[in-house]
Amino acid sequence: MVDTTTVENVPQWAVPYFVNRCASGMDAEDIRLATEFENKLLEDGLRLIAPIDGTENEFCHCPAFGLAGDTVDFEAEVLKKDCKEES
């Protein structure tokens, strides 16, 4: 069984990038922001899985990254840490 958690307020414009690695319509700054966010999640032991249906927010003043705008919550896998790292 996979342990999961919720990552809230991911910008809607980044969903295709996280789901399908589709950067169409994203500029270099958008890609940088999304990549940095994803790398930070990985450092924290999380990997985005999929957006959660019904969690769309038409306008969020405090998205997970980037400027205010439409967001969605994501389900994220809690990655197991290696026993050696915990010591």
Mean pLDDT of the chain: 93
pLDDT band at 87; cut points 50, 70, 90: very low
β-strand partners of 10: 72
pLDDT band at 71; cut points 50, 70, 90: very high
Kindly tell me if the per-residue pLDDT of 49 is higher than 50: yes
Q: Strand (E) positions, 1-87?
A: 4-11, 46-51, 57-60, 69-78
* pLDDT of res. 85: 52
* pLDDT of res. 83: 56
The pTM of the full predicted model, rounded to 2 decimals, is: 0.87
CA–CA dist 54, 62 (Å, integer) = 19
Question: Who contacts 52 (Cβ-Cβ below 8 Å, separation ≥6)?
Answer: 6, 72, 73, 74, 75
